[in-house]
Structure formats: C-alpha cells, structure tokens
Amino acid sequence: MTVMTPPPAAAAAAPVSAEGKPRPKAPSRFREVTSAVFSGWAARISGAALLLLACCALFADFLAPFDPREQDLLRINLAPAWLGGPAEHLLGTDALGRDIASRLLYGLRLSLVIGLSAATIAACLGLLLGVLAGYYEKVLGTVLLRLADVQLALPFAAVGIALSAVVGSGAVMLIVFLGYWGWTTFSRVIVSTVAQVRRVDYVTAARTYGASAPRIMFRHVLPSVISPVVVLWTNMAGILTLAESGLSLLGLGVQPPEFTLGSMLADGQTDLRLAPWAAIAPGAVLMVILLTFNTFGDSLRDALTPGSPKSKHDPELS
C-alpha cells in the first residue's frame, strides 16, 4: 500500500502569481525608501554633501592645519591662498591672525551639534504634544494649538534677548531655546495627521476591544506619524542651524573661547572691507548646510509620501 506524503508546508504556503509562478519576495521598507530617496541626482549630491560636512566636523582635530584659537597679530587679515596669500592659509586669516580654514572646521562641528540637538528636542517634544493634542483634540488639542499660536506670535529675536538676559548665553541655552521654539512646527503637522488616524477602522476596532489610550497612541497612531516627523526633522536641522547663526549675530550665541559659524560671521562683519573672506567663508558654509538639508528633506518627503512617483510599490511583490 502506497502512502501519499503531503507537500512541505513551506511549498504549500509559497505565494504564487496568476500565471502560477512564485512571486518574488518584496524588499524591506527601509530598502525601498533608501532606493527611492537616492534615485535622483539632487538627493545624491545633497547626501554626499551632508556626509562630507559630517566627516569634516568629526575629524576637525586631524584636518585643521592650525589651532583655531591661536592668534598671530603679525599675520592679520591675510588673503586666501587663491588670492595671492600664503599657501599655508588656504582661506586666509581674520582680524586676530587666526586661520579661517581651521576655525571653519571647528565652528562647523559646534554649529551642527547645536542644530541637530535642537531639532531632535523639537521633534521629540512636538511628537509627544502633537499625538496627545490630536488624540484628545476637543480639550487638550485646543489648548496646545492656542499655545502654539501664542508662541508663533512672539518675535523670535525678542524672546532670545529676554532669555539671554535671564539665564545667560551658551551652547546649552541655545540648544534648549531652539529646541523649545521648534516644537510648534512639528505639533501642528502631527495634530492633523493623528486626528485622521484615530478615526480609521483599525483604531476604532482596537478601542472597541478595550485597548487603553496609551496603547492605541503608541502602537497604532504613532507609527503613522513617524514619516512626516523624519522629514520635518531633516528640514528643521538646517533651519535651526541658521537660527543659531542669527542669534550669534545679535551677540546671543556661544561666548568665547567657544565659537560657531554664526559667531565667525559676526566677527567677520566688523572688518568686511579689509578682509571680506572672514565673513564670506562661514556664510557660504551656512548656505551649503541649509541647501543640503532642505534638498535631502524634499527627496525624503517624496519617497515617503503615498502616491508619489518615487514611492511606487510593485503590487506583484509579496
């Protein structure tokens, strides 16, 4: 008597297409997003520029040819090497004889630390308050949105001056102040998304089966708002780095001996006629930072937005 053996479970469960052929395995979501983001030349250039900026900031100790704080009054306002100045000072020197190229590398490091840290604080605070305001939109949402409107109505520079007079200035103060100031941008976007997600069928079903509000918010609602938060964080990092420079121009930034790109720009404007390169160099780096973060954020937004040409998903993939 012949015993019929059943087919293996893996083979029986293997997905097949309409033609009877096994369907190809779908790539991971991370792989899909990565390939979509870097499909355009703008994202590739901005990503390479961000990587270069990060490497320059991380390895400033090895790349800087001089001590960024060392002063030499015999070599003040020297022109860059490409304008006829000495070859060892590639970007020239400032009014105190300090090497501008070395100061750019170290100033870039602190500027990026302040901008990225402030953007992270703003994202976490805005995400938490935005989810709460969107889920409890009738009471808590109304209060938080009114607070956001009041904050947006206040002048940024005036609040910075008042805060500096009360608690002083410094890198930590800048990070906390800029992080707090940026939460409104995140929360206003997240509130509308959460208000829509909390009405979809799977959230209603979870509420019907007795799931608690924290479980619904952090397991079902929160994953739906991560994508816009990541995109906003990318754009906000460049904006807050530029905002730090604006505060430094007003004298509210880090204090000597620490310095950032903004404080370098403030120092360079005093000798703009004699040594314009002292202000042009940090200004150009700030422009590159803002453009690269914004360009990369736009590419990331297109890749994560449903229906975008960059976010196509093959329905035949399992």
Q: Say if residues 94 and 267 touch (Cβ distance below 8 Å).
A: yes
Q: What does the block give as tokens for 94?
A: 């400032």
Cα–Cα distance for residue pair 289/238, rounded to 1 Å:
6
Q: Say if residues 254 and 248 touch (Cβ distance below 8 Å).
A: yes
Q: Please provide residue 311's backbone torsions phi and psi, each rounded to the nearest 5 degrees.
A: -110, 30
Q: Give the distance from CA 89 to its chain's centroid.
A: 32
- Looking at residue 314, its pLDDT comes to 47
- Looking at residue 316, its pLDDT comes to 43
Give me the mean pLDDT over the 264-288 stretch. 88
- Looking at residue 311, its pLDDT comes to 53
How far lies 188's CA from each of 142, 159, 183, in Å? 11, 21, 9
Q: What does the block give as tokens for 240?
A: 């807050």
> Per-residue confidence at 248, pLDDT binned at 50, 70, 90?
confident
Q: Using the predicted structure, report yes or no on whether residue 1 has a pLDDT greater than 70.
A: no
Q: Using the predicted structure, report yes or no on whether residue 8 has a pLDDT greater than 60.
A: no
Q: What is the mean pLDDT of the chain?
A: 81
Give me the mean pLDDT over the 73-95 stretch. 88
Give me the mean pLDDT over the 105-134 stretch. 91
User: DSSP 3-state assignment of 44?
Assistant: helix
Cα–Cα distance for residue pair 79/93, rounded to 1 Å:
7
Give me the mean pLDDT over the 110-121 stretch. 93
pLDDT in tens, 128-149: 888 888 888 777 878 888 888 8
Give me the mean pLDDT over the 88-115 stretch. 92
